[in-house]
Amino acid sequence: MPAAAQPPERSAAAGAHAGRACVVLLHGLGRTRFSMRRIAGAAEAAGYVIANIDYPSREKPIEALAAEVVPAALERCRAAGAAPIHFITHSMGGIVVRYYLEQHGVPALGRVVMLSPPNQGSEAADSLREDTAYRWFNGPAGQQLGTGPDGMAARLGAVNYPVGIITGNQHSFFDAWLSRRIPGENDGKVSVARAKVPGMTDFLVVPAANTFIMNDREVIAQALHFLGRGKFRREE
């Protein structure tokens, strides 16, 4: 039987973007797609098709968010005829992607860059999980970001796809009190050590804070370098 015809607008979009890779951008907990617009603009200027996704990070647990947001993002890339499909995530966005990729295969999967991911949980979430304001503001997903055995991080295994992680060792002024509760170097939300995940391809620490790391020029350049070459740029 002949293949079903695509709608004219979808066919035109696919033709315009044929041969280009797609970058899916997923923001962190309590943020919106606007927090990723600077890195989205840089990726678009570099020739990528962009799927900068808004999702209700405070309203549902990570499992439900992953089941909704990642397929929607993949469909945007496929509708544009763009492949492979890369990801750039911020904070909890990395956990959403990890959960989805542990449950589902993505045939056109490219590379994944995670910015300040709580890959082994967040000590900040441990400190605040019983706080009424934290529970109200961050919702069910916020309760899943701890370092303990009931946290999402403890349920996820090693990654088996190319992952580059960039995390910070500075904190913003309003995270100073949280930073003091986190052992060792940290970005005000996640310790440098807990950003790592078994199986990762490359790891980079930069002088940036969790809240603003996605806007840092060097971070943006390094993220795009990893998408293109599978490793971060380092001085000889």
What is the distance between the alpha carbons of residues 119 and 116, in angstroms, rounded to a whole number? Answer: 9
Residue 14 reports pLDDT greater than 70? no
- For the chain, list the strands marked E by DSSP: 22-26, 49-53, 85-90, 109-115, 163-168, 202-206
pLDDT score, position 11: 45
The total of structural domains in the chain comes to: 1
**Residue 133 backbone dihedrals phi, psi, to 5 degrees:** -65, -40
Residue 74 reports pLDDT greater than 90? yes
Residue 55 reports pLDDT greater than 80? yes
What is the distance between the alpha carbons of residues 165 and 175, in angstroms, rounded to a whole number? Answer: 21
Residue 13 falls inside a structural domain: no
The more confident residue out of 27 and 16 is 27
pTM: 0.90
Residue 122 reports pLDDT greater than 50? yes
- State how far the alpha carbon of 152 is from the alpha carbons of 31, 65, 184, in Å: 19, 13, 22
Residue 39 reports pLDDT greater than 60? yes
- Spatial neighbors of 41 by CB under 8 A, at least 6 apart, are none
- First CA to last CA across the chain, in angstroms? 57
Residue 128 reports pLDDT greater than 90? no
Residue 113 falls inside a structural domain: yes
Residue 153 reports pLDDT greater than 50? yes
- State how far the alpha carbon of 98 is from the alpha carbons of 67, 101, 235, in Å: 12, 5, 30
Residue 133 reports pLDDT greater than 80? no
Task: Evaluate whether 125 touches 146 at the Cβ level (below 8 Å).
Answer: yes
Residue 15 reports pLDDT greater than 70? no
- HSE, side-chain direction, 13 A CA sphere, residue 9: 0
What is the distance between the alpha carbons of residues 197 and 193, in angstroms, rounded to a whole number? Answer: 9
pLDDT score, position 18: 55
Domain CATH code at residue 51: 3.40.50.1820
Residue 87 falls inside a structural domain: yes
Range of the domain at 109: 18-229
pLDDT score, position 65: 97
Closest C-alpha to 123, from 171, 166, 161, 79: 171
Residues 178-195 pLDDT 10s? 888 889 999 999 999 999
Residue 7 falls inside a structural domain: no
Residue 234 falls inside a structural domain: no
Residues 84-120 pLDDT 10s? 999 999 999 999 999 999 999 998 999 999 999 999 9
Residue 17 reports pLDDT greater than 90? no
Residue 12 falls inside a structural domain: no
What average pLDDT is seen over the chain?
91
